[in-house]
Amino acid sequence: MRPYEELIVDIPNYPKPGVVFKDLTPAFAAADAFAAMVDDLAAHFADRVITKVVGAEARGFIVGAAVALRLGAGFVPCRKPGKLPRTTLRESYVLEYGTDALEIHADALTPDDVVLIVDDLVATGGTTTAMVRLVRASGARLVGFGFVVELAFLDPRAVIAAETDAEVFSLVAVD
């Protein structure tokens, strides 16, 4: 078992009844576990020339920025509405426990960029779908997805496959 796996804590009925929340903060806080997580994600994509990692507020920033550093790529944030100061593109999405929208700076990616989307967790695939659409609208080329946790029982791969054939890689699958 990799060191981060045993540090992911299940919180039943958070943030609402019926949801089992996967708390990754202990795995971020342990230096060896955090390093292993970032190294395992980066290693999987190390043979690709990735120019930008795209990640979503807020937990996607923690993993995404670290993976970007390991890959020698830049990091581009997707933020909740109203947080980015310049002209943005916006996409709405549905969460396991609500709805929201994400924005990206309109000039953050160019058609020359090769993009990896990174997040701590994929559940319904709603957040990921919004990021795919923002990357596409930016004109960049999406090559893959790296997730720490995939809630496979929600079948996010089917949702992602409806958008793109880019590779999906997860470190921990929850069936």
Which residues are the active-site residues?
A: 59, 96
Whichever of 30 and 94 has its CB closer to ligand PRP, that residue is: 94
Q: Does 7 bind ligand ADE (CB under 6 A)?
A: no
Sign of CA dihedral 89, 90, 91, 94: positive
- The verdict on 19 binding ligand ADE (CB under 6 A) reads yes
The CA distance from 61 to 89, in Å, is 18
Please select the residue that binds ligand ADE; options are 50, 121, 132, 140, rule is CB under 6 A: 121
Out of 2, 3, 5, 21, the residue judged to bind ligand ADE by CB under 6 A: 21
- Please name the residue that has the structure tokens 């078992």: 1
Shortest distance (Å) from residue 15 CB to ligand PRP: 8
DSSP letter for each residue of 20-56:
EEEE-HHHHHSHHHHHHHHHHHHHHTTTS---EEEEE
Residues making contact with ligand ADE (CB under 6 A): 19-22, 95-96, 121, 123
